[in-house]
Amino acid sequence: MPLPEEKLIELKEICKDLRRNILKMTHAAASGHPGGSLSATEILSVLYFSILKYDPTNPNWHERDRMVISKGHATPLVYSILAKAGYYKGDDLLTFRRLGSPYQGHIDRLKAPGIETSTGSLGHGTSNAVGMALGCRLDKLNNRIYLLQSDGELQEGSTWEAIMSAAHYKLGNLTAILDRNRIQLDGWTEETMTLEPINKKYEAFGWHVIEIDGHDLNQIYDAILKTKEIGPKENKPCVIIAHTVKGKGVSFMEDEVKWHGVAPNDDELEKALQEIERGS
């Protein structure tokens, strides 16, 4: 199912705004993780502005959908999107990573509203999401648990224990979205530790698998709607493997390992902002 044209235009503008913030925040801090934030921009935009059930005035609303950000280093994106969603004003986002700022380098649920669980040590988010899905089912809540994974964390054993557990407990209320940008801190994932075939591995562990272009807003939206139907119907967790580009939207950052955790300098920031403005 495609997005309504008006919503599609709105989401494209939101993505441009988020990318500007990601670059400005990492530039101001002279540190951070722009690459993986830029690769997941469309994914979180669709979730927060077309899918998720939440109330920014009541972050702990019991009936809310839970959004677990397992790739907890993608904080420039997370803080920017939570501000746009209304959890806080966001006029202080450029204090990112400064001493005393709520916008820490890895998300902390005790520092900023809207964060479900503190993550950053890769491999913990999936376990947290499985626990939340079990808890919400026990409470008979009519909600869903969404999980944003990085591909690098699939090299962690605890992640696969959680994936196996989710299928065992038939968690049809759980949807994972894998940001498959193929790059991690040390280089290409397949050079660091081979992950493929990821789709067959998830299937072997009992999950329903959908593969998409992770920058196509319509494909993201359609895939998430399908998991909302398939998960409860088949009593199994679903994963959307979203094929993305690290550093998406900035030509000199795209598919470059360097930009996993390096901030742009003054000249690079200006060039990147110009590219985003042009939509190139």
pLDDT in tens, 184-223: 988 999 999 999 999 999 999 999 999 999 999 999 999 9
With a pLDDT cut of 70, the percent of the chain lying above it is 100
Average pLDDT, integer, range 121-128: 87
Q: For the chain, how many structural domains are there in total? A: 1
Average pLDDT, integer, range 128-140: 98
Domain that holds residue 87: 5-278
Burial label for 148, CB within 10 Å (0-12, 13-18, 19+), is buried
Q: What gap in Å lies between CA 141 and CA 38, rounded to an integer?
A: 33
Cα 251–252–254 angle (5° rounding)?
65
Burial label for 223, CB within 10 Å (0-12, 13-18, 19+), is buried
> Residue 86, SS3?
coil
Give the CATH number of the domain where residue 203 resides.
3.40.50.970
CB 97 within 8 A of CB 104: yes
pTM of the model: 0.97
C-alpha of 34 from chain center: 13
